A and B are shown apart, each in its own frame.
Chain A
Amino acid sequence: MSRNGKIILLVLLAAAGLSVAAVAARRGETDHPVARITWDGEVVEEIELDRVGRGYSFTLESQEGSNTISVEKGRIRVAQADCPDQVCVDQGWIADGTVPIVCLPHKLVIEIVGGGSAFDAAAG
């Protein structure tokens, strides 16, 4: 194998290794999960998931379509969406910061951030 080939192979292996490490590092519970809902580039809602009592749902609507979001203690999901691909609905509940829920057609992102003491101070 030529020198270039070896370099590329090494770079690929390094990329694979780093990705596995990143996946492993992101796992882990957030002790104070906060769901941040970003819609069309703006944060519209931040929900402290461990303070949710009874579960509830609400709907975000724009001319592009609507998403119904369900919240329960410690977890959140998109229950219904009128987009063609249904990727966000199929993803189901998320409870930690591993991966966010993304609805590309409606420009909606739900991510879970570990709200530490800084968030508590801001929330008063």
Chain B
Amino acid sequence: MTRRRAEGAGRLTRLALLTAIALTIFLIEAQLPALTTIPGIKLGLANIVTVYAVFTLGPRDALMILCARVFLGAVFSGQMTTLWYSAAGGLLSWCALCLLRKALDKRQLWLSSPVAGVCHNLGQLLAAAAMLGTWAVLAYLPYLVLAGLLAGLFTGVAAQTLIGRMEKLGR
């Protein structure tokens, strides 16, 4: 997955475009009704962009898109309290993606996404435990692991398809 990295204005434009796409997906998904009564479970479709960015643009650019999306997403959805949970989850899943980036070959990078999904939910839960000052919330762990796996599988396959299509376009 090597390719010439865009510099200067080209790179800035690409980052801005991907951030805008991720933010749009995030805000539309936030309007959908909750899937379950268990808090923190959702598809996380905006992570398709994160997976795509980590594998095609590299960890640094992906981190910038992720941070911008998490912050602006909290601002635009008006729920600043969720910022710390998404930030903790996002950073942990970004770490997982970066570690798996070299370990996986091109045909199987979708596998990194369920790992990232589980890490995201784990980070979120640890942030919640720290904020609430009790380990009682860890009762949610098995549910969140399963949800992270399934959601990650979905976004992973989507990201894999996206990367394949984009390569055919020669971009």
Contact = CB atoms under 8 A, between A and B. Distances in A.
B166 interface: no
- Residues of B contacting A: mostly: helix
Contacts of A102: 39, 128, 132, 137, 140
A26 B37 contact: no
B136 interface: yes
A63 interface: no
Interface residues of A, number: 38
Contact of A104 (B37, B39, B112, B149): B39
A81 interface: no
B149 A12 contact: yes
Contact of B131 (A5, A8, A107, A111): A107
A114 interface: no
Nearest to B131: A107
Contacts of B39: 85, 87, 102, 104
A97 B139 contact: yes
A40 interface: yes
Nearest to B109: A5
Nearest to A92: B37
A42 B133 contact: yes
Interface residues of B, number: 34
Contacts of A91: 37
B1 to A, nearest CB: 15
Contacts of B136: 36, 38, 100, 109, 111
B31 interface: no
Interface stretch (B9-17, B53-61, B87-95, B100-108): B100-108
A107 B105 CA distance: 43
Contacts of A105: 81
A15 interface: yes
A5 B137 contact: no
Contacts of A36: 136
Interface in A1-45: 1-2, 4-5, 8-9, 11-12, 15-16, 18-20, 22-23, 26, 36, 38, 40-42
19 contacts: A1-B108, A2-B104, A5-B104, A8-B112, A8-B115, A11-B115, A15-B145, A16-B146, A19-B146, A19-B149, A23-B142, A87-B34, A87-B39, A90-B37, A97-B139, A98-B139, A99-B143, A108-B132, A109-B134
Interface of B: 34, 37-39, 78-79, 81-82, 85, 100, 103-105, 108, 111-112, 114-115, 118, 128, 131-134, 136-137, 139-143, 145-146, 149
Given A15-B145, A23-B146, A26-B139, 16 more contacts: A2-B108, A4-B103, A9-B111, A12-B111, A12-B149, A18-B142, A19-B143, A19-B146, A20-B142, A84-B79, A85-B39, A102-B39, A109-B132, A109-B136, A109-B137, A111-B134
